[in-house]
Structure 1
Amino acid sequence: MTQPTETTGRMKRSPDHEDEVLDVRGHRDPDRNRLTPVVQLPPKTALTVIDALAGLVRAAHRQEGERPAPPGEPKRAQVFEEGDVFMLEPPFPGFFADRYLMDFYDTAARDICSRMHLHTGLRFVRMMTGPDTTIRVSSLSPITIRPATGPFAPLASFADHLPGTPDGARRERHNVIVPPNSWVDMQIPRGVSHQFNAVGPHAVIDSVHPEESIETLREGMSGYRMMAQTIFLAKDRSPAATCADTGTPETNPPR
């Protein structure tokens, strides 16, 4: 097997390591993430959808606590840095993809941001927000914003510097804000950096991993966990203030 390159995707050094870190100074994205604004909903409608989907995740985690998944079976209630996760649709022989729902943590309430990271397999993500909630999407490369599929307020975008980089290293971070009561789709190519942080209590991700089980077998991990494909680009998480800005003059005064 030829060694993977940045253009074809990167494998983890240790598939079972759930906190593998890649030196951000040497990483270069092989492509760009793409955002497609889908629809903006009335606040009550958006909240109903978010509560229903988040309720599935919370019920799955209660069930996992009461009746843990047997050894050797996929653990469908999992935990990511950004939120609690429920594997809604696991893969099966002949269908090498899975789908999960994520109930976002409120970054402001926890006073901590998730880290920039990449995956060894591509992703499709639908981000959904309710009232008084935004999601800040970030990457080390500019994010392509595709035309909206219908009426949709322009998305705020801005650049800042990635926090927590090694001494003497500066990496520009590109950010887009998903506004309240909105659905936005994101296409994440293999190996491209990204970071999600919700500010507010009502945010959910519906995500499909089209290569999940193929990549899991390729990497040779010993148990099925979605974290098998995650490689972080920072050793430590940073305070909420480093990901709470929305790019508006009120939150980003001139420096």
Structure 2
Amino acid sequence: MKESPDHEDEILDVERHQDPSRNRLTPVVQLPPDVALSVVEALARLVRAAHRTERERPTPDGVLRQAQEFEEGDVFMLEPPFEGYFADRYLMDFYDTAERDICSRMHLHTGLRFVRMMTGPETTIRVSSLSPISVRPATGGWAGPMNTFTDALPGTPAGVHRERHNVIVPPNSWVDMQIPRGVSHQFNAVGPNAVIDSVHPEESIETLREGMSGYRMMAQTIFLAKDKSPASTCADTTAPADTPHP
């Protein structure tokens, strides 16, 4: 799927790309604010501790570096792959989009993934795709439907229009998302309290098969935009006034 397996910033033509499938999102549970904050903070502390250790004692060349960075946040590879088990699990401490005034780019991956997104108080996550996101019926204890809307994908080349489909994960919530291989997606957290617990069942196959020089999760990513856009393009939680709801 990638022209150069080691390339960490490979760009795909957004005008021509068509998702081969759709992402599927499952609302799981909503928690009291203090409980949600405790869970998010506990997981985020693991990520932050791993990055402190990496700064103090950098991983030697040729050894798997478990503290890495994504556009959406800092990452700690909690469970790395090994011979005979080609999957991994990582935790992500989301960046606050509004604080950095930068949105992550729409992208896709060379392998499928399973993502659990968790928010705490005063924090939402905007989940986006170039294809409509299938939202499954909520489990018990979920307060009302999730907010969904469409808008225009920012940062496209002149004369190119792509619709972006959005789902808003509310504060103090857990949602699961199944992302098929090659399907576009974009996560942006607005607020300080959000984490991801993600499993990659396939991506590490390519690492071992292609003999990449070290395990870097960004090497399994293909972007659909050359540049990041400002926070104003992903911080809203409702549709623009001139955009009809789907």
| Pairwise same-fold verdict (TM > 0.5) | yes
Within 5 Å, which residues of 2 pair with 1:18-57? 18-57=8-47
Structure 2: stretches of 5+ with no match in the other structure: none
The answer to whether structure 1 residue 133 and structure 2 residue 154 are counterparts is no
Task: Give TM-score scaled by structure 2 length.
Answer: 0.96
| Residue number in structure 2 paired with 1:142 | 132
Instruction: Calculate percent identity across the aligned residue pairs.
Output: 81
Task: Give TM-score scaled by structure 1 length.
Answer: 0.93
Which of 200, 206, 223 matches 1:215? Answer: 206
Moved over 4 A (4+): none
Q: Distance in 2 between matches of 1:200 and 1:112?
A: 13
Q: Distance in 1 between matches of 2:133 and 2:20?
A: 13
Q: Distance in 2 between matches of 1:81 and 1:16?
A: 17
Structure 1: stretches of 5+ with no match in the other structure: 1-10
CA RMSD of aligned residues (A): 1.1
The answer to whether structure 1 residue 196 and structure 2 residue 187 are counterparts is yes
> Is residue 29–residue 193 contact of structure 1 (8 Å, CA) maintained in 2?
yes
Q: CA deviation at 1:12?
A: 1.1
Q: Distance in 1 between matches of 2:165 and 2:88?
A: 28
Write out per-residue CA displacement over residues 61-93 of structure 1, whole angstroms, 9 at most, x where no aligned residue.
Answer: 000001111111111000000000000000111
| Residue number in structure 1 paired with 2:236 | 245
The secondary structure found in structure 1 opposite 2:197 is strand
| Residue number in structure 2 paired with 1:233 | 224
> Is residue 134–residue 200 contact of structure 1 (8 Å, CA) maintained in 2?
yes
Q: CA deviation at 1:220?
A: 4.0
Q: Which moved more, 1:80-89 or 1:144-153?
A: 144-153
Q: Distance in 1 between matches of 2:211 and 2:223?
A: 19
Q: Distance in 2 between matches of 1:219 and 1:132?
A: 42
The answer to whether structure 1 residue 102 and structure 2 residue 92 are counterparts is yes
Q: CA deviation at 1:215?
A: 2.0
Aligned residue pairs, count = 242
Q: Distance in 1 between matches of 2:20 and 2:203?
A: 19
> Is residue 12–residue 219 contact of structure 1 (8 Å, CA) maintained in 2?
no
Within 5 Å, which residues of 2 pair with 1:161-172? 161-172=152-163
Q: Distance in 2 between matches of 1:74 and 1:226?
A: 11
Which of 54, 60, 72 matches 1:70? Answer: 60
Q: Which amino acid aligns with 1:247?
A: T
Q: Distance in 2 between matches of 1:136 and 1:176?
A: 6
Which of 145, 148, 154 matches 1:154? Answer: 145
